[in-house]
Structure 1
């Protein structure tokens, strides 16, 4: 009997960004900034939140225009803690955060109306969604705008709350537990969360009374270990811009421990190419092994001083074929 054929995969390019905070790409002539027009082409664009500075309508409009100008057929966007007008309960309970009332319905329409749909824009606050691309690739994505409470902003939860891992049988009987837990491997190809998992590109200078403390979520770390997606993209922590490749202990790690390996990029090349490029596809020389590895990407465009000094990440990878 012949062995079953290997499942077909399709090389797909994804451009990832986060924490643009109302910043559109600089003019193409501005060679000092990697975040400049035209942004690198891709099949899919991911934005991991903090689209705006404080959720004002004109700020959202600037970001939607940026998405519409990009040629990617699919643009998956999640909000972040600064996008307060996309978290209606928070917005209504924090009037001191918005001196000028905003039209929440009009803002939502920017991301979900006919023009947005025609441009391939999909806004997800939290949940799972599957997509089929024109190149034949298909993938399932988990997204969440929520992150541990941080300076009293939107989409926050208490650090003791676990909204990412399945509840116990008793909790389920009581109707407790998370509304959108992250499934275990192999159900999710890509994760996009605004906040990072604990200990992975989440170090914040002067967080609370400590210096260089981890601001990420312990529960999210447990969930991503179960899920083992191909990519986990996030932002929120501007200081953490970068990419790291995790070799999970259950995979080929020799010493029985997870191995987190930084991805090294040439800053001059990043500036020239307007992006930090990573090839983990079959033609890249070091193909990512799904279930054994995950590529973590902190794609914050802003640095710690809210200067747009960072570049988007551009990842080539294999996705399942239709």
Structure 2
């Protein structure tokens, strides 16, 4: 995918959110350069939800909008997924793919450890490791739906993130790793060279409680 030149600005303001679950009309989104949506735009997994989401994206001022799918986003995985992708006219959809914006390398992937037979599920272990091995080593901003194991990923005191992704993040060492999926752990955590962002907007009771997280990325 060709690079996007965002008016040669020296820094990028990233606006991060995830797990909208078809409730986007009630969300107040700050302005910025790049809007990042880290999956679960749907609740029931219907094309109509994708259309409503894209219409909403069209009302937002961000110069670039990046979207990945999540475990509720069935239209992007089932046969005929092209219909869902074609509905995203106001965003760039990333599925194990990347894009460069102002010299900053973004990479997005929807996969997560399997649970209850949701979309984009893979068994823990080699199959997920193979996906994460494809993350380029020069990635500055990594966008996944699942968190890595041990980082903003607790459910009832148990870590449920992806072990293989944690290994990959240590290899790549992105400046930011944006994800969602685990509603209980919305927030920001910096460890080493990477700032981790769980941008889930819904809480564990599926109440829309949290606000988008804004990050400033200086010159790469």
Same fold (TM over 0.5): yes
Match of 1:193 in 2: 144
CA drift of 1:106 comes to 3.3
Distance 1:299 1:83 in 2: 17
User: In the alignment, is residue 122 of structure 1 matched against residue 92 of structure 2?
Assistant: yes
The structure having more radius of gyration, on CA atoms, is: 1
SS at match of 1:47: strand
- TM-score with structure 2 length normalisation? 0.90
Deviation digits for residues 269-313 of structure 1 (CA, Å, limit 9, x no counterpart): xxxxxxxxxxxxxxxxxxxxxxxx111000001100111001100
Distance 2:181 2:162 in 1: 12
Distance 1:72 1:230 in 2: 21
Change (3 A) 1:178 1:63: closer
Deviation digits for residues 55-109 of structure 1 (CA, Å, limit 9, x no counterpart): 21221112112211111111110000100111025xxxxxxxxxxxxx7543221
CA drift of 1:160 comes to 2.2
| Aligned pairs for 1:206-217 within 5 A | 212-217=157-162
Change (3 A) 1:192 1:104: closer
Task: Please tell me the root mean square deviation across aligned C-alpha atoms, in Å.
Answer: 1.9
SS at match of 2:58: helix
User: In the alignment, is residue 181 of structure 1 matched against residue 146 of structure 2?
Assistant: no
Distance 2:25 2:14 in 1: 17
Distance 2:49 2:127 in 1: 31
Distance 1:244 1:50 in 2: 22
Runs (5+) with no aligned partner, structure 2: 1-7
Runs (5+) with no aligned partner, structure 1: 1-7, 27-34, 90-102, 165-176, 206-211, 248-292
173, 176, 184: which one aligns with 1:231: 176
Distance 2:190 2:136 in 1: 21
| Aligned pairs for 1:219-298 within 5 A | 219-247=164-192, 293-298=193-198
Distance 1:319 1:46 in 2: 18
Question: Contact between 1:143 and 1:193, CA under 8 Å: does it hold in 2?
Answer: yes
Distance 1:316 1:179 in 2: 25
Match of 1:299 in 2: 199
Deviation digits for residues 19-54 of structure 1 (CA, Å, limit 9, x no counterpart): 00001142xxxxxxxx33xx2100000000000012
User: In the alignment, is residue 14 of structure 1 matched against residue 11 of structure 2?
Assistant: no
Change (3 A) 1:9 1:40: closer
Match of 1:218 in 2: 163
- TM-score with structure 1 length normalisation? 0.63
**Aligned pair count?**
213
Match of 1:159 in 2: 124
Distance 1:222 1:9 in 2: 33
Q: Which runs of 4+ in 1 moved over 6 A?
A: none
